[in-house]
Amino acid sequence: MDAIDVIRVKRDGGTLTPGQIDWAVDAYTRGAIAEEQMAALAMAILLNGMTRPEVARWTDAMIRSGERMDWSALDRPTTDKHSTGGVGDKITLPLAPVVAACGAAVPQLSGRGLGHTGGTLDKLESIPGWRATLSTEEMLGVLAEAGAVVCAAGGGLAPADRKLYALRDVTGTVESIPLIASSIMSKKIAEGTGALVLDVKVGSGAFMKTVPDARELAETMVAIGTDHGVRTVALLTAMDRPLGDAVGNAVEVAESVEVLAGGGPSDVVELTVTLAREMLAAAGVSGKDPADALRDGTAMDVWRRMISAQGGDPSAPLPAAAETHQVLAPSSGVLTRLDAYGVGVAAWRLGAGRARKEDPVSSGAGVVCHAKPGDRVTAGQPLLTLHADDEARFARALESLDGAFEVSEGGTADRHPLVIERIA
């Protein structure tokens, strides 16, 4: 085949054949298609879209570019969750132990943060000794011991996606819903899980800012999962405000442990239990309710086993930033808005996030919120506490918070419900 012919089909609004898709993905992975040619094809896909069969075949070709994991040796069904990312989204940390405590196995491959959105691996690496990189054999060992594992994806998993993602990032084609959906789902399906729940975030702190865009992405991913024999369901959830009270790395781990101990912010608890019930139902596991696993300590037991099995010390003190700075309420009234994006950028500038994939992060940096939209506050009351290793970072963080919150006498908070919609 010829790359130019494939580009022309999609450029002119046509439908790629399965053979053209298979050849294009394989040839690009091998280096037989030039970067500029794949960039042109990606732009044509962005502008003209893909049919459901095209997306399914594209995803399948990316899966076949590498290995596919197999958990059939386990004595329980597998189920997983993927979040499209947000601010304060530490749900994986309590969720995996809760689901494992209720009888399913959770092989969770996670990533690192970039920009204003946090990364699960960055958060867990604030625990002394914890390791993100495991072999497949080590993952099986942790699953057998604890029922859940959270780790980095190996280099052999959907290498075509890794190469294409880097190209999309520098060619203005990240926003293509078919390419976003196939990128996410190729890795999740290659991971080998039997059931998948998608947490598609909506709002200022999310990649998808509107409900219609988030719904389109969710429907595309559910269709891909279904077409590949993976029981898949999606929830659209709010990301117009931070999730929970903590935004950062160690501060989010501490909040997750509070949830596992039976406390923690109500929105984190609600979303953890809701997603856990969906994961268990998708895996066909019934019996113990996730809320009970939080109350009776069994989820905490799984957490301790999981962290220990990956070299971490669940009892060790978490890192703390050297400097703090409080942001005070400018007046008395109702906190009507706390913008997730502004808080996320502040945490990033404090050192909790990175601008490039190779940048280091500070474990102790972040933001702790002391009020949520809808809460009544008084003038001079702390709204946020900023944490950083270097006080010079506070000025830039405060710039990102300018206009990110509003206090109004007699005002009301305009916000999405936590769970907006369910798509199956």
Dihedral sign from CA coordinates of 267, 273, 277, 283: positive
Joined tokens for residue 110: 């996670």
How far apart are the C-alpha atoms of 164 and 156, rounded to whole Å? 15
> Residue 112: what pLDDT?
86
Interior CA angle at 93 toward 350 and 282, to 5°?
135
At residue 385, the 3 state secondary structure works out as: strand
**How much is the average pLDDT of 170-185?**
93
Choice among 110, 126, 183, 256 that is catalytic: 183
82 is a catalytic site residue: yes
- The mean pLDDT value for 83-111 works out to 96
- Location of structure tokens 């037991």: 301
Output the pLDDT for position 414: 79
Percent over 70 (pLDDT), the chain: 100
- pLDDT band (50, 70, 90) for residue 30: very high
Name the CA radius of gyration of the chain, rounded: 22
For 395, other C-beta atoms within 10 Å of its C-beta total 10
How far, rounded to the nearest angstrom, does the alpha carbon of residue 67 sit from its chain's CA centroid? Answer: 22
Q: Where are the beta strands (DSSP E) in 119-225?
A: 148-152, 195-202
Q: For residue 143, give the amino acid letter.
A: L
CB 142 within 8 A of CB 311: no
pTM for the model stands at 0.94
What is the percent of the chain with per-residue pLDDT over 90, rounded to a whole number?
91
What pLDDT does 325 receive? 98
Q: Are 145 and 230 in contact (CB under 8 A)?
A: no
Please indicate whether residue 183 is annotated as part of the active site: yes
Catalytic residue among 10, 81, 82, 188: 82
What's the rounded Cα separation, in Å, for the pair 81 and 225? 13
Q: Where does the pLDDT of residue 125 fall: very low under 50, low under 70, confident under 90, or very high at 90 and above?
A: very high
Strands 231-238 and 323-328: unpaired
173 pLDDT band, cuts 50/70/90, is very high
pLDDT at site 383: 98
The average pLDDT across 94-108 equals 97
- pLDDT score of 381 more than 80: yes
pLDDT tens sequence across 304-350: 999 999 999 999 999 999 999 999 999 999 999 999 999 999 999 99
Q: Is 227 a catalytic site residue? A: no
- Which of 31-40, 219-228, 412-421 has the least mean pLDDT? 412-421
Q: Is the pLDDT of residue 149 over 80?
A: yes
Domains annotated on the chain, with CATH: 3-49 (1.20.970.10), 80-309 (3.40.1030.10), 323-408 (3.90.1170.30)
Asked if residue 223 lies in contact with residue 198, where contact means CB atoms within 8 angstroms, the answer is no
Q: What is the pLDDT of residues 104-121, one digit of tens each?
A: 999 999 988 877 888 999
Q: Is 325 a catalytic residue?
A: no
Cα–Cα dist 2/32, whole Å: 10
User: Average pLDDT, stretch 148-162?
Assistant: 92
Q: What is the mean pLDDT of the segment spanning 339-362?
A: 91
Inter-residue contact 202 to 210 (CB < 8 Å): yes
Residue 218 pLDDT greater than 90, yes or no: yes
Q: Which of 123, 187, 188, 305 is catalytic?
A: 187
Residue 413 is predicted with a pLDDT of 81
- Identified catalytic residue from 57, 162, 168, 241: 168
Catalytic residue (choose from 60, 80, 122, 161): 161
Q: Where are the beta strands (DSSP E) in 156-309?
A: 195-202, 231-238, 246-248
Identify any residues that bridge with 78 across adjacent strands, giving them in sequence order: 105
Give me the pLDDT at residue 393, please. Answer: 97
Q: Which of 59-68, 137-146, 212-221, 357-366 has the lowest mean pLDDT?
A: 357-366
| Lowest model confidence (mean pLDDT) among 213-222, 284-293, 349-358, 373-382 | 349-358
Q: Is 11 one of the annotated active-site residues of the chain?
A: no
- 10 three-state secondary structure: helix
Rounded Cα–Cα distance for residues 96 and 198 (Å): 14
